[in-house]
Amino acid sequence: MLYQIHELQHAAISPMAQWADAVSHLFTSAVSPLAYTPFARNIAAGAELFHRIGKDYNKPSFNIESTTVDGQFVEIEEATVAAKPFCNLIHFEKKTSKALNQPKLLLVAPLSGHHATLLRDTVRVLLHEQDVYITDWIDARMVPVSQGAFHLHDYVHYVQDFIRLLGPDVHVMAICQPTVPVLAAVSLMATAGDIQPRTMTLMGGPIDGRLSPTEVNKLASERPYEWFENSVIDVVPFNYPGAGRRVYPGFLQHAGFIAMNPEKHMESYLHFYEDRAHGHPADAHVKFYDEYNAVLDMAAEFYLETIKTVFQDFALPNGTWKVDGKLVRPQDIKNVALLTVEGGKDDICGPGQTEAAHKLCSSIPAEHRKHHVEAESGHYGIFSGRRWRENICPLVSEFIRAHNG
């Protein structure tokens, strides 16, 4: 019922948000007399602020049209190389006649509220030296019920299918939430004697959430499973293709994101108003919140199983996780080089949670394992921004080159 109420509220606010957008343009356009009235900038800034708070944020585009390889300009074209009900595998294909022979990298994006475009900066920097593929997860409200459910084990199978598709020379990189199912996927493939990626890079993920628990870990572990099922799960309304599907709605996830640092977001919006009132562009704010405010629904069964398996039972580090009746055994991985990366100031996945993968992957020789802590980095800083570009990505690229066969 909460989803229906949200849709009604959005339907009521949407016309006012559009009106505010029109007001903003009337008080800033050079051809409008209103732009030359007293306090025009303040009125326009307030209207623009209201518009941005009330507007609908659609899935952004990657907008990566080119890159440089060895100093040479290369055009990029996005191509869907595999399509599944809940995920598309996107290839950032380099349009050049020159044989680049770059390492093939499968970048597994989080399915935790935001779209894969949250990793835009990650992809943009990796493209200089890697042949990048990314998992582009589909908003569950857009997937008809006839396509079936999406469980945590389906996520594992998707990763396995993509690894098989790309072949044994592929490298795998997972950021945050997918570190757990990616480690499970590679473990199960090792146990079965299936193909293995050459390297596995795990960044800022809850491999063992018992270590340095954050507020996210505490919420997931202190609340009973039934609380999550009864409090945050709703049904997609009739006006979407996924009508009738049980989901963890994106708008609830977004409210949770904001609630983690409400003062920070209020300050950011205040600075936006002040910048616009003084005629400044505020591009950084617009760019960040266009991405941050665009959220997707997660299938209820996937979300609830993740809560129980990863954050309550700690099934992976406890050695009790089974996928389709098969035990997940990271100790069976022998021929995959392992790199883990953590942020020293990560308030979502505490230090040590990702490093725990090394203890679990005990059969990987020490010379094929590496751990890096970016001491001054928060969660987003390990895959986006200056520290990612200058410190972490070069480390990842060097590790991939060293184990590229």
What's the pLDDT band for 11 if we cut at 50, 70, 90?
Answer: confident
Each residue's pLDDT tens digit, 352-402: 999 999 999 999 999 999 999 999 999 999 999 999 999 999 999 999 999
In a domain, 76, yes or no: yes
Residue 182 shares a structural domain with residue 329:
yes
In a domain, 241, yes or no: no
**Mean pLDDT of the region 293-309:** 97
Residue 85 shares a structural domain with residue 190:
yes
Residue 36 shares a structural domain with residue 171:
no
Residue 271: give the domain boundaries: 2-56+250-292
Name the pairing type of β-strands 87-95 and 72-84: antiparallel
Tokens matching residue 273: 């108003």
Q: Of 269, 271, 283, 275, nearest to 52 (Cα)?
A: 269
Each residue's pLDDT tens digit, 67-97: 999 889 999 999 999 999 999 999 999 998 7
In a domain, 227, yes or no: no
Residue 193 shares a structural domain with residue 214:
yes
Is 89:165 a contact under the CB 8 Å cutoff? yes
Q: Would you tell me how many other CB atoms lie within 10 Å of the CB of residue 196?
A: 18
Last residue of a domain, one of 228, 259, 292: 292
Tokens matching residue 363: 């059969």
Rounded to whole angstroms, the Cα distance separating 21 from 32 reads: 15
Each residue's pLDDT tens digit, 203-231: 999 999 999 999 889 989 889 999 999 99
Each residue's pLDDT tens digit, 35-65: 999 999 999 999 999 999 999 899 999 999 9
Residue 93 shares a structural domain with residue 158:
yes
In the predicted model, is pLDDT for residue 100 greater than 90? no
Residue 199 shares a structural domain with residue 320:
yes
Residue 154 shares a structural domain with residue 216:
yes
Cα-based distances in Å from 296 to 41, 140, 293, 338: 34, 7, 10, 31
pLDDT at 97: 77
Cross-strand partners of 299: 247
In a domain, 242, yes or no: no
Number of domains in the chain: 2
Residue 287 shares a structural domain with residue 304:
no
SS (H, E, C) the chain: CHHHHHHHHHHHHHHHHHHHHHHHHHCCCCCCHHHHCCCHHHHHHHHHHHHHHHCCCCCCCCCCCEEEECCEEEEEEEEEEEEECCEEEEEEEEECCCCCCCCEEEEECCCCCECHHHHHHHHHHHCCCCEEEEEEECCHHHCCHHHCCCCHHHHHHHHHHHHHHHCCCEEEEEECCCHHHHHHHHHHHHHCCCCCCCEEEEECCCCCCCCCCCHHHHHHHHCCHHHHHHHCCEECCCCCCCCCCEEECHHHHHHHHHHHCHHHHHHHHHHHHHHHHCCCCCHHHHHHHHHHCCECCEEHHHHHHHHHHHHHCCHHHHCCCEECCEECCHHHCCCCEEEEEEECCCCCCCCCCCCHHHHHCCCCCHHHEEEEEECCCCCHHHCCCHHHHHHHHHHHHHHHHHCCC
Last residue of a domain, one of 292, 308, 325: 292
Residue 80 shares a structural domain with residue 212:
yes
Rounded to whole angstroms, the Cα distance separating 330 from 130 reads: 26
Residue 281 shares a structural domain with residue 302:
no
Q: Of 114, 125, 48, 65, nearest to 286 (Cα)?
A: 48
The model carries a pTM of: 0.93
Last residue of a domain, one of 292, 325, 353: 292
In a domain, 243, yes or no: no
* 220 phi and psi angles, rounded to 5 deg: -70, -35
Q: Find the CATH number of the domain harbouring 369.
A: 3.40.50.1820
Residue 24 shares a structural domain with residue 157:
no
Residue 116 shares a structural domain with residue 203:
yes
- In Å, how far from its chain's centre is CA 109? 5
Each residue's pLDDT tens digit, 149-179: 999 999 999 999 999 999 999 999 999 999 9
In a domain, 112, yes or no: yes
In a domain, 231, yes or no: no
pLDDT at 18: 94
In a domain, 320, yes or no: yes
Rounded to whole angstroms, the Cα distance separating 102 from 404 reads: 10
